[in-house]
Amino acid sequence: MPVTVNLRHLDGPEVHLEGDLPSDELDLDVRDEMMEAREPLKYDVEVQKLEENLLVTGRLSLTLDCKCVRCLRPFQYEMEIDPWTVHLPLMGEEAVKVSNDCVDLTPYIREDILLEFPQHPLCDVECHGLPHGSLTGKGSEPSTASSEAGSSAWAELNKLKLKN
């Protein structure tokens, strides 16, 4: 069920909305294989009507299941937007869509959640990635050729004799 507020309830004081929004209803089109939203979004917001506008303030939190881009280890990323604020006009060109006196806040929540996603999820800032050679299948020991010439790939390139 989307997060909606009934405009008729805003004639008096602000309206408090709190709850969980299932991740499938949030409809996060995450096209990153390193992140997945399985847990529900938790929201705790206050909505008030200011003349011909809505002001929504509060807190959003979501737990993402991620894989580290360096070591591929799975971990959970706790994302929290606190404070979260959105200003929605009720009149004019950019007015929000009102259906049966209700405004759906879900698209605005979705947009701000997507903007907060990590670009490159890391299990730890100090993560050094996969052990050397684990992608090539050679084990964790460096090859003898590179260890004799130094551990730098540039040392191997310096051995090449290229003709002009």
**Greater confidence, 161 or 109?**
109
Q: Give residue 30's pLDDT.
A: 76
What are all long-range contacts of 158-164, with beta carbons under 8 Å and residues at least 24 apart?
Answer: none
For 122-135, how does the pLDDT look when each residue is reduced to its tens digit (9 = 90+)?
A: 999 898 887 765 55
> pTM of the predicted model, to two decimals?
0.74
Q: Which residues are within 8 A (CB) of 19 and not within 5 positions of it... i.e. 6 or more apart?
A: 3, 42, 43
Structure confidence at residue 164 as a pLDDT band (50, 70, 90)? low
For 18-48, how does the pLDDT look when each residue is reduced to its tens digit (9 = 90+)?
A: 999 998 888 887 778 889 998 999 999 999 9
Q: Give residue 122's pLDDT.
A: 92
